[in-house]
Structure 1
């Protein structure tokens, strides 16, 4: 299976690097500057599960991609606001039988990818990892979790999904082919929106929020609103998910924050439109009533940040 990993950043570089180290046929689609860095220093991963340095990796830039021919699988893990540019960069690699596996937050990217490449080409997927690039452009894995869950948008485990699962197995991270990937994606979205909305709104980690007079009530209300939107769209979250989420969202003293808060603290662009804004748009009566939801307040807070950031730049 020929695998094209779009980018060699914190997420794509981690999973692509693990696959390459396990002997899979992996090519990284990168910009010229990143290609030069990879030639000089290799692809470096610092992880609790073992460090890795790949000195000889296959990398290609957009201008040379057409000559590489179509790939069997495109693994896509860009930021949601970079989706349009990413599509243009890898479009030449998509043939009639290419599967596209996006690991983006939210749902809007599925509509965009299907409109461009057709419904059959696109899989659903979620990843669980906390990672970043350090000053030396090394991939730093920040926690123990490193997993990809994916599947057919229509449900079930198809032969191609099983083939991808086989290619990903025994590659140094956890993988699961899901029979209900849209359910898994909605549940991750509910958790992420709850965590990002609360930690960005109050500019603090979970433990600090819970120590404030109304912090627990704010998180509770936000979590309920996000669950209601999932149910409105036909994906009521499961009891086991609620239990797992509550153990993290309501953990006293927890240092947990969303990566979106780190983006705010770093003065970076955020995925507010895709994680919070799109959830509001899909929220039905719960988000269109006269009563101002906590989710809408959190979204407006982030849009005010982005407006100020845009003015400063």
Structure 2
């Protein structure tokens, strides 16, 4: 199976690099600046070892035909430009698996590529430091499945391509399939992102502050209420895990939304929080804390654009 990994950053570089290390036929689609880094190989610093992997990479103007599987790993705010870049690599039998945050990207991808798009998500804590992808925690999972939960041969083919490559790969089907998993991940991301950016610290610092735990639990409840109103209420296990993670004493847990903001970079505010608040409004669900967090991030984005 020919695999095109769109992006070679913290997510694409990590999973695509491990696939290449495992001998899969992987090509990275990147911008010219990232291509220069990859000419000397991809470096992945895992928790227990450092990998230096020779990889194949190309830019949009040099794509060589269509691919069987396209893994889309760019940040959500870069998706529209990426779609134009990888469109020539999509043929009639191509399967597109996006590993993006939120849900709105599915509408954009399906508008362009129709039913070649399936559901996908990942859980990984990684950071791109120059040319090196650094693993920050042990979780390294990719999930994928048809959006209607049906088991299909193409999902079986994706499963065969991704399993056994050094990370946890899981096909999801049935009523508890990939769509439910996408909503549960969004619920967690939005809760953690809203909490850490609104209060400006890691979970341990927030827990130690007056009303910190109270605020965390209220944000989790707001996120859960939106998901439930949309027909995808988080499981009791998922909600308990989110509450435990976001109220843990002494925890240094943060989110990518918080880390990107702290570094002065572009943030996925619209995709993670803005879209969730808009859906809450459409469903008649009150989410004042999420709205406040979204407004604060919009102020950050305006300030960044003006500087």
TM-score range (shorter-chain normalised) is over 0.9
Partner residue in 1 for 2:149: 155
Check whether the contact 2:216–2:243 (CA below 8 A) recurs between aligned residues: no
Check whether the contact 2:74–2:82 (CA below 8 A) recurs between aligned residues: yes
* 1:33, distance to aligned residue in structure 2 (A): 2.3
CA–CA separation in structure 1 for the residues paired with 2:21 and 2:148? 32
Check whether the contact 2:43–2:52 (CA below 8 A) recurs between aligned residues: yes
Q: After superposition, where does 1:49-68 map in structure 2 within 5 Å? A: 49-55=48-54, 57-65=55-63, 68=64
Partner residue in 1 for 2:284: 285
Partner residue in 1 for 2:26: 26
CA–CA separation in structure 2 for the residues paired with 1:51 and 1:107? 33
Structure 1 residue runs of 5 or longer lacking an equivalent are none
Q: After superposition, where does 1:66-105 map in structure 2 within 5 Å? A: 68-105=64-101
The reply to whether residue 166 of structure 1 matches residue 165 of structure 2 is no
Alpha-carbon displacement from aligned partner over 1:127-168 (angstroms, at most 9, x marks no partner): 111111213x11111111111011111113211111111111
Considering only aligned residues, what root-mean-square deviation do their CA atoms show, in Å? 1.1
* 1:93, distance to aligned residue in structure 2 (A): 0.2
Alpha-carbon displacement from aligned partner over 1:165-193 (angstroms, at most 9, x marks no partner): 11111100001001110100000000110
Structure 2 residue runs of 5 or longer lacking an equivalent are none
Check whether the contact 1:128–1:147 (CA below 8 A) recurs between aligned residues: yes
Q: After superposition, where does 1:162-311 map in structure 2 within 5 Å? A: 162-179=156-173, 180-283=177-280, 284-287=283-286, 293-311=288-306
* 1:49, distance to aligned residue in structure 2 (A): 4.8
TM score, norm. by length of structure 2: 0.96
Check whether the contact 2:224–2:239 (CA below 8 A) recurs between aligned residues: no
CA–CA separation in structure 2 for the residues paired with 1:81 and 1:113? 13
Alpha-carbon displacement from aligned partner over 1:256-304 (angstroms, at most 9, x marks no partner): 01111111111111111110000011112114xxxx6111011111111
* 1:124, distance to aligned residue in structure 2 (A): 0.8
CA–CA separation in structure 1 for the residues paired with 2:48 and 2:277? 38
Q: What SS does the corresponding residue of 1:236 show, helix, strand or coil?
A: coil
The reply to whether residue 17 of structure 1 matches residue 20 of structure 2 is no
CA–CA separation in structure 1 for the residues paired with 2:202 and 2:196? 6
Moved over 3 A (4+): none
CA–CA separation in structure 2 for the residues paired with 1:10 and 1:19? 14
Q: What SS does the corresponding residue of 1:101 show, helix, strand or coil?
A: strand
Partner residue in 2 for 1:145: 139
Q: What SS does the corresponding residue of 1:270 show, helix, strand or coil?
A: coil
Q: What SS does the corresponding residue of 1:87 show, helix, strand or coil?
A: helix
* 1:9, distance to aligned residue in structure 2 (A): 1.2
Check whether the contact 1:101–1:123 (CA below 8 A) recurs between aligned residues: yes
* 1:50, distance to aligned residue in structure 2 (A): 3.1
Alpha-carbon displacement from aligned partner over 1:40-88 (angstroms, at most 9, x marks no partner): x211111025321113x221111011xx111011001111110101101
Q: How many residues align?
A: 302
Instruction: Check 1:187–1:162 CA distance in 2 against 1; reply closer, same or farther (3 A cut).
Output: same
TM score, norm. by length of structure 1: 0.94
Check whether the contact 1:49–1:144 (CA below 8 A) recurs between aligned residues: no
